[in-house]
Amino acid sequence: MRDEATFVDESLLKKVPRWRGYLEAKLGFRNHWYAVRLSGDVGEGQIEKVTLAGENILLKRINGKVYAIRDRCIHRGIPFSQKPECYTPDTITCWYHGFTYRWFDGVLSDILAAPDSRVIGNRKVQTYPVEEAKGVLFVYLGDEGVTPQPLREDVPPYFLDDDMAVEGHAYLVQSNWRLAAENGFDALHVYIHRTSPLLGNTQRGLPIGHIASSAHITVYEEAGEPKGVYDDFEQHSVVYDATVDGNVVVKGTRSSRPPGPESRSSGASTWLPCSARVDNFPDAGHYQFEWYTPVTEDSHYYLILIGKRVNSEAEALAHRQEFWNRWKPLSLEGFNNQDIEARVGLQTFYKDDRAWLTEGLIEADLPIMKWRELCHEHNRGIQTPDHIR
Amino acid sequence: MRDEATFVDESLLKKVPRWRGYLEAKLGFRNHWYAVRLSGDVGEGQIEKVTLAGENILLKRINGKVYAIRDRCIHRGIPFSQKPECYTPDTITCWYHGFTYRWFDGVLSDILAAPDSRVIGNRKVQTYPVEEAKGVLFVYLGDEGVTPQPLREDVPPYFLDDDMAVEGHAYLVQSNWRLAAENGFDALHVYIHRTSPLLGNTQRGLPIGHIASSAHITVYEEAGEPKGVYDDFEQHSVVYDATVDGNVVVKGTRSSRPPGPESRSSGASTWLPCSARVDNFPDAGHYQFEWYTPVTEDSHYYLILIGKRVNSEAEALAHRQEFWNRWKPLSLEGFNNQDIEARVGLQTFYKDDRAWLTEGLIEADLPIMKWRELCHEHNRGIQTPDHIR
Amino acid sequence: MRDEATFVDESLLKKVPRWRGYLEAKLGFRNHWYAVRLSGDVGEGQIEKVTLAGENILLKRINGKVYAIRDRCIHRGIPFSQKPECYTPDTITCWYHGFTYRWFDGVLSDILAAPDSRVIGNRKVQTYPVEEAKGVLFVYLGDEGVTPQPLREDVPPYFLDDDMAVEGHAYLVQSNWRLAAENGFDALHVYIHRTSPLLGNTQRGLPIGHIASSAHITVYEEAGEPKGVYDDFEQHSVVYDATVDGNVVVKGTRSSRPPGPESRSSGASTWLPCSARVDNFPDAGHYQFEWYTPVTEDSHYYLILIGKRVNSEAEALAHRQEFWNRWKPLSLEGFNNQDIEARVGLQTFYKDDRAWLTEGLIEADLPIMKWRELCHEHNRGIQTPDHIR
């Protein structure tokens, strides 16, 4: 039995007033939209089980539209997913006593074993707003009575642009979602990518490290717009020759292309509640969009989408083919898999809340601190174990 | 390290004054008799290890009578069962230092490695009263100094009747014992049994649901008698046609026998500390007796016994043969296995004590509330983690 | 999340004022030397991961000398051992951002991805003093600023003697280290060894029990010397015929050698922080040295060394051959494996701190009480979970 008081210890939270809400958000933030599945994961009439920030949720696509309900009967807590029963396209029935709910609004429409009960029509199972965009299913994890903000406020800029074609794939990763967000936005972590096959394949450059200057970190916090932090790589000081005791021991990769802004990624940004955009990656003219959706305290749904602006169906098809034939094996599984390894490596230390106060960040970690402060300032609520019960 | 205060939170207990003792009884009640094994499980001279309400206990049959002691040496806590040593029929010796105890009274009669110790004859390991009836071994889980009540006060009426022949089998089920008791006594749960092969085999009826009327629930609480709740199925309103949105989606099974009271079970009752009786089940003229003996917080020993009144050895033998040839495969494993699935389904939700306050019982769950209140009122003590240490 | 207050409950500690520090020392003592590996386990240039009292430590041998550092980068807690990178013989580099530390002093000498950081040269990872003696690697688990005592204060007398040749082998055992120390020093526990093949092989005697007299237990607590308790077996009262109800049920083994002091072990002693010496064991003229080094709360590194005084290389070689050909299969794996079984048997009970107050020690356990009091009196600090974080 875990009680609220011990979720994150108050004595720790007090020590980080500027990012207290982030330290508390082990399970993510409430009243935000989260990418939870790709559209293709939920076919017509199909039921899919999802865990979002600790809440067990069922998705079903009915006449093309996806609906989401809590995977727990209001009567005695039975998970519908243990033995789903659907007697009509629009309802789900609990296999224990026949409590039947409408997918549209969650209302208890019938009880098969007790058709005269007064509770019929008067109770409901929790439902979740769902939006589908760019081939991604988004669920709104919201408090009762809160009207969802437009989806566009909770995704990186450019993602919803009409001419943006995106293709992607997702992985379940065994680390807290915050470690994923920080790893992706950490300019120093390119060190781990020096061996990626992506470098030889694209002939692009990748330094051993590049270090942000605080003057070129931009915080986006305008009302009604996405909230994020942008780090402009082109203003960084860049390290190609890594030394130990004054001797070069590892070298970065210099682009073998003609010089120009597109010879390496030009910037990275992170956005509330848990997404990122990397510009000119995995190659010039591309955008990598990522989501680090909290699943449990110790795992996240890592969605990687590669976007490209297209002007025709033919260009969209070419992008799709390039994603599956080139970027998925080469970059997702030859570059981002190195990020997964790093996040899992961080988890052992950071799973103890106290670690967040004993870590040893350095100057180059400034963008991470900006991100933590942004989250603290602009999140719309903290998910806690009480929401899961 | 778990301390007493967190066993069940006081703030939760306060909210259910009418069944507080039941919410607290995760591990069952003290000063009651519990069915722990079938007689045949402990042959002459054989040692059997049992866990009852978290306490590890050893049974041994000596000259026909079964004795029970705590499976833990008083010296340094070693479990005898790791390497049982019995140098005489009446004693058990700890394999570590040779502490030797009498099965009859638990007295430390010898220490093989220290024969002159002053503690010999002056200390004892805990013993438990044992009774054997109807082929079942009962252990009394009692406080020191408490004289056991007669066994008959702790079993369902009829069970000990001279003409009652019983045959049975037991299963270890991964749910708290209270979920088992409630599932068995829940009239609505017949919904899960609509697919059981028992129905076709016996040609008896089984509705989709049947709903208790409070006027026909009888609470038995006379001093010196078994304490229980009886629900008379014949007074129920019965549902055969289950509808969703007004259309019949599932039908119950109507008896294809001539009409009469025996075409389906006539009633169910639950009894302190953790047993049940279903009348005219699995067929007319039979009684199903069940025990849901707490093993750990998360598991129980599910003993199913089918009883029939007999007038001769030949009738008893016929009943035995019918049990093994027909009822065990058809009903225990074709009907009660569905109950096991339901209990395991409940466990995920109810293992958090708070769930007992957020469940959504309905009118038809009235018999369950009566049972909870009966337990609160008439239990003779609560088992806590302190008793296990 | 576990906090300091619950490591060992204060209310329990208060009840054992004479050995409070021992009850607290689930993870062992600080500011002591611990045997952690055999020399041969760490070859030149090789890295070995060790867990000592909950702290993850890396050992490396550089130009013959072994160094030890904490296996955790100071930046973001990454374990170096997940993917060790060594660009020079004297440094280790964290695979995540290239933080590079010197094995000699732990100083952060370079950051590959951020060569201009102000923290370079100004921070260090924790290092541990290492000594190597008699083919054993010792690590000092010390508080910052504490100068290690000489190794000789933390090992049993005779162990470091010039003419003492030792050979050994180690096992990871799943019990708390204190249960190991007590089992080894427990005169009654010979009961478990009555079936060992060592007895027939050496024709030496082994009683069923032998009982210390308090007059012949010597406590060594002189300043600047090893702190230990010595129990002189030759002054014991000895039990060869074990009885139940007055009948002999088990007999000890009497030596079939000519009578004399060397027909069985002559004494056992335990020494801070966690070692033992048994004299004239496994045979006359031999010393068995043991270490029970805490790994986690629930496991220890059990190092068994057999020592013999030698006057030449040839005698040392003969001892080495006898160890591998005779003592390891016969005694370590035919006698001490019985001790391992006993420790694992104790663990179930004693893993709950409260068990230490409900155990039932008897007169013959006096040497164990002396050992607990010695540890309380003379330990140099208690290891707690705060040291591990």
Instruction: Note the pLDDT tens digit of each residue in A257-308.
Output: 877 656 788 899 999 999 999 999 999 999 999 999 999 999 999 999 999 9
**C-alpha distances in angstroms, C199 versus A3, B94, B308, C337?**
57, 22, 61, 15
Residue B174 phi/psi, 5-degree rounding, is: -90, 65
Of A3-17, A303-317, C226-240, C347-361, the range with the lowest mean pLDDT is A3-17
Sign of CA dihedral A36, A286, A208, A236: negative
B207 → chain A, closest CA residue:
A113
Residue range B365-372: mean pLDDT, rounded? 96
Say how far residue B249 (Cα) sits from the centre of its chain: 36
- Yes or no, beta carbons of B364 and A95 under 8 Å apart: no
- Yes or no, beta carbons of A359 and C119 under 8 Å apart: no
Most distant CA pair in chain B, distance: 83
Average pLDDT along chain C: 95
Say how far residue A172 (Cα) sits from the centre of its chain: 11
Name the nearest CA neighbour of A71 among C75, B348, B74: B348
A72 → chain B, closest CA residue:
B349
Residue range B309-331: mean pLDDT, rounded? 98
pLDDT value for C1? 35
pLDDT value for B3? 42
Residue range A219-248: mean pLDDT, rounded? 94
Name the nearest CA neighbour of A48 among A167, A112, A124, A130: A130
Residue A87 phi/psi, 5-degree rounding, is: -85, -20
- Token pair recorded at residue C142: 């010390």
Residue C337 touches chain B, beta carbons under 8 Å? no
Q: What does the alpha-carbon distance between residue C52 and residue B303 come to, in Å, rounded to a whole number?
A: 48
Average pLDDT along chain B: 95
> Which positions in chain A touch C111 (Cβ < 8 Å)?
209, 362
pLDDT value for A258? 77
Residue B285 touches chain C, beta carbons under 8 Å? no
- Yes or no, beta carbons of B95 and C6 under 8 Å apart: no
**CATH T-level assignment (fold) for domain C151-388:** Naphthalene 1,2-dioxygenase Alpha Subunit; Chain A, domain 1 (3.90.380)
Asked if B37 and B58 touch (Cβ cutoff 8 Å), the reply is no
Residue range B214-237: mean pLDDT, rounded? 92
pLDDT value for C128? 98
A108 → chain B, closest CA residue:
B244
| pLDDT above 90: residue A235 | no
pLDDT value for B262? 67
Residue range A242-257: mean pLDDT, rounded? 93
Q: pLDDT for A37-65, tens place per residue? A: 999 999 999 999 999 999 999 999 999 99
Residue range C347-356: mean pLDDT, rounded? 96
pLDDT value for C187? 87
Look at residue C16 and give its three-state secondary structure.
coil
- Yes or no, beta carbons of A115 and B353 under 8 Å apart: no
Question: Of C186, C244, C360, which is closest to B100 when you measure between CB atoms?
Answer: C244
Confidence of residue B372 (pLDDT cuts 50, 70, 90): very high
Question: Of C186, C209, C353, which is closest to B1 when you measure between CB atoms?
Answer: C353
pLDDT value for C216? 85
Asked if A158 and A54 touch (Cβ cutoff 8 Å), the reply is no
Residue A3 touches chain C, beta carbons under 8 Å? no
Number of C-beta neighbours around residue B261 at 10 A: 10
Asked if B221 and B374 touch (Cβ cutoff 8 Å), the reply is yes
Q: What is the pTM of this model?
A: 0.94
For residue B113, how many C-alpha atoms fall within 13 Å in the half-sphere facing its CB?
A: 29
Residue C359 touches chain B, beta carbons under 8 Å? yes
Residue B94 touches chain C, beta carbons under 8 Å? no
Q: List the Cα angle C159/C162/C163 in 5-degree steps.
A: 90
Sign of CA dihedral C1, C345, C300, C32: positive
Type of residue found at A51: T
Ranges of each domain in chain B = 32-141, 151-388
Residue A124 touches chain B, beta carbons under 8 Å? no
The pairing of beta strand C55-62 with beta strand C47-52: antiparallel
Residue range B98-108: mean pLDDT, rounded? 98
Type of residue found at A214: S
| pLDDT above 90: residue C211 | no
* C31 backbone φψ class: left, alpha, beta (φ>0; ψ -120 to 50): left
Q: Taking each helix axis as running N to C, give the angle between helix A366-378 and helix A177-184, from 0 to 180 degrees, rounded to the nearest 10.
A: 130
ipTM over 0.90: yes
Q: List the Cα angle A173/A178/A183 in 5-degree steps.
A: 75
Q: pLDDT for C132-145, tens place per residue? A: 999 999 999 999 88
Asked if C335 and C193 touch (Cβ cutoff 8 Å), the reply is yes
> Which positions in chain C touch B114 (Cβ < 8 Å)?
188, 209, 211, 239, 362-364
Beta strands in B212-265 (DSSP E): 217-220, 228-232, 237-239, 241-244, 247-251
Confidence of residue C260 (pLDDT cuts 50, 70, 90): low
Sign of CA dihedral B230, B235, B239, B240: positive
- Yes or no, beta carbons of B110 and C245 under 8 Å apart: yes
Confidence of residue A210 (pLDDT cuts 50, 70, 90): confident
Question: Of B243, B355, B360, which is closest to A115 when you measure between CB atoms?
Answer: B243
Beta strands in C29-163 (DSSP E): 32-38, 47-52, 55-62, 65-70, 91-93, 99-102, 108-111, 127-128, 130-133, 136-141
Q: List the Cα angle B131/B136/B139 in 5-degree steps.
A: 40
Confidence of residue B7 (pLDDT cuts 50, 70, 90): confident
H/E element, C269: strand C267-271
| pLDDT above 70: residue B367 | yes
The pairing of beta strand A108-111 with beta strand C299-309: unpaired
- Yes or no, beta carbons of C345 and B82 under 8 Å apart: yes
pLDDT value for B107? 98
Confidence of residue A389 (pLDDT cuts 50, 70, 90): confident
Residue range C351-379: mean pLDDT, rounded? 96
| pLDDT above 70: residue B260 | no
pLDDT value for A213? 79
B365 → chain A, closest CA residue:
A75
Residue B56 touches chain C, beta carbons under 8 Å? no
**CATH T-level assignment (fold) for domain A32-141:** Rieske Iron-sulfur Protein (2.102.10)
pLDDT value for B2? 39
